[in-house]
Amino acid sequence: MKATMKELYEGERPYEKCLAHGAGTLSDTELLAVMLRTGTVGETACELAGRILNQPGYQGLSGFGRIPLERLLKLKGVGKVKAVQLKCAAELASRMAKSVAGERLCFGKPDTIADYFMEELRYEEQEQLIVLFLDTRNRLLKEKLMFKGTVNASLVSPREIFLEALEVHAVYVVLVHNHPSGDPTPSQEDIKMTERIYQSGELLGIGLVDHVIIGDCRYYSIREQKALPNAWKGKDA
């Protein structure tokens, strides 16, 4: 028989604990157990949740968001329904974080850009380059994933970025990309790519506002850190 919440002592049931004291009193394992509802043979829902949160290479909540669906399906006690529920819960958490960050998003403030994309990009195992296209009042016209894989100066084409910018009548662009290593410090390739795009934009009259690199709960703004000494002189963000 499956071990359910009812089989736990009342004081140990996450559902009852939430009702009595609020969801904030539940541990990560207990929160996940509430979503799972049932365990498996010889294992309570809390024990199953603990096993999921301690998967090698995917430990903790940060790891939980990155567990592939295929791997979840292979775990004992996690069928298709539970696997889909868990992936949807992780995606919902990411979207909620992005929605909250969007309320204070300002394209001239790199910390707000980093907050907006942090939960979306910090778990990605491949580099991605997202370009934001803005109008004359710094309002977002379009957000587009332009490149995925290795983001460097030799592979990223300014032509594709500015063709898209011209199509949507953008006046400014912002670059956002992630470092799967978790360290947002730009490489020399990152600097070269930023410089190429900045210079191309200057020729076309389309300004590069910033290039924000996302790490694990950290970010790096190339403009803020003045990593391009000959760019943006005398220009407001």
In eight-state DSSP terms, residue 163 is H
Q: Which of 67, 108, 106, 89 is nearest to 224 (CA)?
A: 108
- 37 φψ region: left (φ > 0), alpha (ψ -120 to 50), beta (else): left
Tens-level pLDDT at each residue, the chain (237 residues): 444 555 544 445 888 888 888 888 989 899 998 888 888 888 888 889 999 999 988 888 878 888 888 999 999 989 899 999 998 988 888 788 777 766 778 888 999 999 999 988 988 888 999 999 999 998 899 999 999 887 766 678 899 999 999 999 999 999 999 999 999 999 999 999 999 999 999 999 999 999 999 999 999 999 999 999 888 876 665
Tell whether pTM > 0.85. Answer: no
H-run or E-run covering 232: none
